[in-house]
């Protein structure tokens, strides 16, 4: 079955799962109490629903419920982790390490701190978009207080060596934060074994509602100290002031509950759809390059450059298919993707890059339709191009998962 337009932009946001919506609805019109209201049943029910959501999230991530701090989303969680750490540890040092391919939430937080006198090192990645843990270790100084490396890149889908980086940080007694927005609910994460101090993520990337997310902050000793970035209340152990978004938190909890049960089988199914999309495209279109690592990537990501094609023109020509040219959070920017630039693509290939995000509700029929449309539109656009010089870079090969 095909539902038009075909939605293949699941890295920017996902459809709310019907089971998630069903779980949320009573908290808008029936159980609408404030979770901070301790004097009546409405507040008690709201508080109990928040407690249950913490447990469901903790079950998925294999951590303690008390280590989950609710926020408005990953961007706020990232700001709280990075700026909050900088504020509480400035007496120890002023050096932070991150990578050149981070999401803007991390990069802009670091730039903000640079304006306040902090020193930030931006570690490079290889042509597959993966950072070498040794480069992280080499960047550490006696002033380093925090390392922040994303778990999965939002554009090219590469999975970073998080456990190895966490081990390095632990040995140096440096805090480690990871932006796991594109990882939670898509690949297995065991916080009891990874050694991560802080982890940010959002609900709307994993079939939950927008406007809610969380920061995991380990409760293990020695305790991680971060300064709150929003004043006005003592919610979330004093780390995040503001009335809790109870319906959203319930939705996030339910989304994690579904992921805990379905993640393994869903990853297999989505991987097969992605592989079919890739092989279908390269069998019909010449000059296709895969961006990112061909093995260490999340199941639903396919990022390709099609030689001799302007990606914006391709998207306009097939309005019945929703895809992206890069990060949704930076789609209004005119600058080339900093991620694609970091892995060595020239401007021509960057302009010809399409990101497909395959998700839970996509079907094989939709994938076959998109293959057909890509083939038709690329052939047409190349035929009307005044010059089709292409690029000299080799076509990427993609390994089936």
Active-site residues, by number, are 329
What lies within 8 Å, CB to CB, of 401 at 6+ separation is 271, 274, 275, 295, 299
- Longest CA–CA span in the chain (Å) reads 73
- Cα distance between residue 338 and residue 350, in whole Å: 10
SS3 state of residue 95: strand
Neighbours of 109 (CB within 10 A): 25
CB atoms near residue 323 (< 10 Å): 20
What is the edge-to-edge ordering of all strands in the sheet holding 301-306?
Answer: 288-290, 301-306, 353-357
- What is the token pair recorded at 345? 């693509």
Residue matched to tokens 């993966």: 130
Which run of H or of E encompasses 370?
helix 364-384
b/e code 326-339 from CB counts within 10 Å (16+ = b)? bbbebeeeeebbbb
Length of the chain: 401
Q: In a 3-state reduction of DSSP, which class is residue 213?
A: strand
Q: H or E element: which one contains 178?
A: strand 175-179
d(CA 172, CA 337): 33
């Amino acid at each position: 079955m095909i539902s038009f337009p075909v939605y293949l932009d699941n890295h920017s946001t996902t459809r709310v799962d019907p089971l998630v919506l069903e779980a949320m609805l009573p908290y808008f019109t029936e159980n609408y109490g404030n979770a901070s209201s301790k004097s009546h049943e409405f507040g008690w029910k709201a508080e109990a629903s928040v407690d249950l959501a913490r447990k469901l999230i903790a079950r998925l991530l294999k951590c303690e419920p008390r280590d989950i701090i609710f926020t408005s989303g990953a961007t706020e969680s990232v700001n709280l982790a990075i700026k909050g750490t900088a504020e509480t540890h400035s007496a120890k040092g002023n050096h932070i390490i991150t990578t050149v391919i981070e999401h803007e939430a991390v990069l802009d937080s670091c730039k903000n701190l640079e304006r306040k006198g902090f020193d930030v090192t931006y570690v490079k990645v290889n042509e597959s978009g993966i950072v070498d843990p040794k480069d992280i270790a080499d960047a550490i100084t006696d002033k380093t207080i925090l390392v922040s490396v994303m778990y999965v890149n939002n554009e090219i889908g590469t999975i970073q060596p998080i456990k190895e980086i966490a081990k390095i940080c632990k040995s140096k007694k440096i805090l480690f934060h990871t932006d796991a927005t594109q990882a939670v609910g898509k690949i297995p994460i065991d916080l009891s074994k990874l050694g991560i101090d802080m982890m940010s993520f959002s609900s709307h990337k994993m079939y939950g509602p927008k406007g809610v997310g969380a920061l995991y902050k380990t409760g293990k000793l020695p305790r991680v100290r971060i300064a709150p970035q929003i004043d006005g209340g003592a919610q979330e152990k004093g780390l995040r002031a503001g009335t809790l978004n109870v319906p959203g938190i319930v939705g996030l909890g339910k989304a994690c509950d579904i992921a805990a049960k379905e993640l393994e089988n869903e990853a297999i199914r989505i991987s097969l759809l992605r592989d079919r999309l890739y092989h279908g495209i390269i069998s019909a279109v010449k000059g296709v390059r895969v961006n990112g690592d061909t093995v260490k990537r999340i199941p639903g990501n396919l990022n390709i450059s099609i030689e001799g094609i302007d990606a914006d023109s391709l998207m306009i020509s097939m309005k019945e298919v929703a895809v992206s040219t890069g990060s949704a959070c930076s789609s209004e920017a005119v600058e080339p993707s900093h991620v694609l630039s970091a892995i060595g693509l020239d401007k021509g290939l960057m302009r010809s890059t399409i990101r497909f995000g395959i998700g839970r509700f996509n079907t094989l029929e939709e994938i076959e339709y998109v293959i057909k449309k890509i083939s038709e539109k690329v052939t047409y656009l190349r035929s009307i191009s005044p010059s089709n010089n292409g690029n000299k870079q080799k076509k990427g090969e993609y390994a089936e998962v």
